[in-house]
Structure 1
């Protein structure tokens, strides 16, 4: 299945009337102002809530140039409720291909995908939400769930109380252990090296080979995925960036700790940002790329000015609802990136929450009771699948070029939309 076609939405102003006034006069607080938090904030406001989004960072977020595979759930806000032109946010490719050590195509499958860059998409969501109720430098440190209201305490000492609190604060969520004390993070055994290079800086042969495809280079116990994304200045060929993530095994303990130690001597926990990876590790990365990867993929890695890395971690909470507080996206379940479904899952959680609230006709606790089970099921299914994908690639060596069971997709390999939607109205009637 390919992504649905997107069309410009130019007739609906960004100040459009809410889709519903069911929750007029009710308040929602969203913790975490990234893509998942902004999507939730926009959807809750769209059904009548007064919404405030609180972001712990002190300034507007940036995604270090990271790419996002645009699945329908992710893009849905811009297709259905925004006047922003979805096509202005995305690049697309026509093929999925696997390359060998001579840049020969081992497998090629015609399959259309769309992509954006993290920063491009975040800025578009923030433009729709606005900054009046988007609060920077607001780190949540504690919360108290209640049957009808929940409250959040912030690092500066002030607190906020709301009818609904949404924690969309990512893999390091301050609330997850209160939902599920057993939801401990588990290291996968490998990290993802990431980076981008302007397409214009690549050789003609590499551009011709990879500019219209998702490209894979699979080597023993490792693989790299590459695809073009929008640049800071637009989506045209001269502005696009070639984005990649290269998964490499690193033993837990001293080897991982050393890799996560920055040039200034600080040790990260889940990532090392651009410009902070030790030079010795960058030299090894580039040498290994030239030695192992398809030459076109190696060229992209070698020409990356500041590669950075993220630790691949598995986390899933067995609960997403406590009182009138919920976990959403990576705060509830952080799945390995192999299905390219992290942002899609966060958006799907938010859209499902909106649907459940509308069906419940003002009964927030009732809506949350019926929202939670299908979202937990979706998280479990996704995490199970991506763990299998990672194990096959990084340890078992059974990922083969063109394998149809190893495709992107939130709901299954190559599946971007569910075959059926939960019937929230029927569930709410019996809640």
Structure 2
């Protein structure tokens, strides 16, 4: 019998970090319920994810699904100049997935019986024995443990650290995907088997192939990109972040909702600024969208029987490709602390918190410096090993 057989846990947020946490807690013996605020399944998001060991760990150690069925990979990192010439190339293997592919795989392992849609958590109370979460629907759920995996706008973080506010970086990310098979032969040849960068003054773009809806084969793959562009905080940014429905956004503007004039300007700028191969991908994107690049880090990740993981605790710029890895690392460390605590949830969280806070601090410091180098000081140099991906450090 497991120590936590009969114990209950609530996970707020049904995305990748929340599902990873829920699966691990269930394996530990908890009965777990996941509550997701959106009314429909989180499917169809095309964003790419660089797969690091912590992200993949559930599938390499616990799942019957195989990582190779969920991912693509490349063997090279390369930089192109604005004439499509390769200015740096090194052998370094990375694997990738799409947000939707990975989410569906995790949800497939967790199942839908304890996965609740359309439930927005708005607060909680706790005592020494339990924690009760309140939802805007009027529902209340009491459990032995609550984990907030509710992302960059986390309700849990507002409770544990009300002073932790989003800090805008000074730039946005244009994101999108294009079917690889729809690219010209020259672009496909140049971009194949590589993660590709083009660095220009005060900007850079990253491109890599991810699985499509049909799978990971050449006819299914998508070319995914993130293009970082400086946009000053103030009226210019505020106007850009009003979607076609007239609703203002703070974190992103979804595909098909970015105002047409901004899409047109972005495409024109791509033709002028980027390598032709990168520009082809960007201009061919049917529905590009905007990600607001911001940072936030809570000074606390635990209080009593409540914990924050992933972006709820620390949302850091994407330059280290470590967002999903950090959420997974938080979850694995949490269940490790719970196992060692042998039933004392409060003690487990107290032991777990300082190590994960330190990991968050180191990651945030590094990605802020990387962003400064690419977007402002123009000191991002092709091939610099300090600029490699990694949760625990460059290349790690």
Cα distance in 1 for residues equivalent to 2:97 and 2:128: 39
Cα distance in 1 for residues equivalent to 2:192 and 2:131: 49
Cα distance in 2 for residues equivalent to 1:138 and 1:264: 24
In the superposition, relative to structure 1, how do residues 347 and 63 fare at CA in structure 2: closer, same or farther (>3 Å)?
farther
Verify: 1:329 aligned to 2:310, yes or no. yes
Residue 425 of structure 1 corresponds to which residue in structure 2? Answer: none
Residue 332 of structure 2 corresponds to which residue in structure 1? Answer: 351
Cα distance in 1 for residues equivalent to 2:356 and 2:246: 40
Cα distance in 1 for residues equivalent to 2:271 and 2:316: 29
Cα distance in 1 for residues equivalent to 2:395 and 2:126: 38
Cα distance in 2 for residues equivalent to 1:78 and 1:146: 36
Cα distance in 1 for residues equivalent to 2:207 and 2:161: 36
Gaps of 5+ in 1: 1-19, 416-431
Verify: 1:301 aligned to 2:282, yes or no. yes
Verify: 1:196 aligned to 2:177, yes or no. yes
Cα distance in 1 for residues equivalent to 2:45 and 2:241: 17
Residue 202 of structure 2 corresponds to which residue in structure 1? Answer: 221
Cα distance in 2 for residues equivalent to 1:141 and 1:187: 25
Shift in Å at residue 227 of structure 1? 0.1
TM-score, normalised to structure 2, is 0.99
Verify: 1:342 aligned to 2:329, yes or no. no
Verify: 1:71 aligned to 2:52, yes or no. yes
Cα distance in 1 for residues equivalent to 2:215 and 2:74: 16
Cα distance in 2 for residues equivalent to 1:162 and 1:351: 20
- Which of 128, 139, 158 is the aligned partner of 1:177? 158
- Which of 260, 264, 277 is the aligned partner of 2:241? 260
Residue 291 of structure 1 corresponds to which residue in structure 2? Answer: 272
Residue 314 of structure 1 corresponds to which residue in structure 2? Answer: 295
Shift in Å at residue 22 of structure 1? 2.0
Query: 3-state DSSP class of the match of 2:199?
Result: strand
Query: 3-state DSSP class of the match of 1:175?
Result: helix
Verify: 1:163 aligned to 2:144, yes or no. yes
Cα distance in 1 for residues equivalent to 2:181 and 2:2: 49
- Which of 204, 210, 218 is the aligned partner of 2:191? 210
- Which of 17, 35, 45 is the aligned partner of 2:16? 35
In the superposition, relative to structure 1, how do residues 190 and 63 fare at CA in structure 2: closer, same or farther (>3 Å)?
farther
Residue 103 of structure 1 corresponds to which residue in structure 2? Answer: 84
Query: 3-state DSSP class of the match of 2:376?
Result: helix
Verify: 1:149 aligned to 2:143, yes or no. no
Shift in Å at residue 63 of structure 1? 5.3
CA contact (8 A) 1:148 1:365 kept: no
Shift in Å at residue 193 of structure 1? 0.5
RMSD: 0.8
Q: Report Cα offsets for 1:74-106 as digits up to 9, x if no partner.
A: 000011001011110000000010000111111
Gaps of 5+ in 2: none
Shift in Å at residue 184 of structure 1? 1.2
Cα distance in 2 for residues equivalent to 1:148 and 1:104: 63
Q: Report Cα offsets for 1:341-378 as digits up to 9, x if no partner.
A: 00000000000001111111111111111100100000
Shift in Å at residue 21 of structure 1? 1.8
Verify: 1:379 aligned to 2:370, yes or no. no
Large movers: runs of 4+ above 3 Å: none
Cα distance in 1 for residues equivalent to 2:273 and 2:126: 52
Cα distance in 1 for residues equivalent to 2:256 and 2:264: 13
Cα distance in 2 for residues equivalent to 1:145 and 1:247: 42
Cα distance in 2 for residues equivalent to 1:81 and 1:209: 37
Verify: 1:273 aligned to 2:268, yes or no. no
CA contact (8 A) 1:194 1:244 kept: yes
Q: Report Cα offsets for 1:374-393 as digits up to 9, x if no partner.
A: 00000000000000000111
Query: 3-state DSSP class of the match of 1:244?
Result: strand
- Which of 330, 333, 344 is the aligned partner of 1:363? 344
CA contact (8 A) 1:148 1:323 kept: no
Verify: 1:388 aligned to 2:369, yes or no. yes
Cα distance in 2 for residues equivalent to 1:259 and 1:147: 47
TM-score, normalised to structure 1, is 0.91
CA contact (8 A) 1:145 1:322 kept: no
Shift in Å at residue 265 of structure 1? 1.7
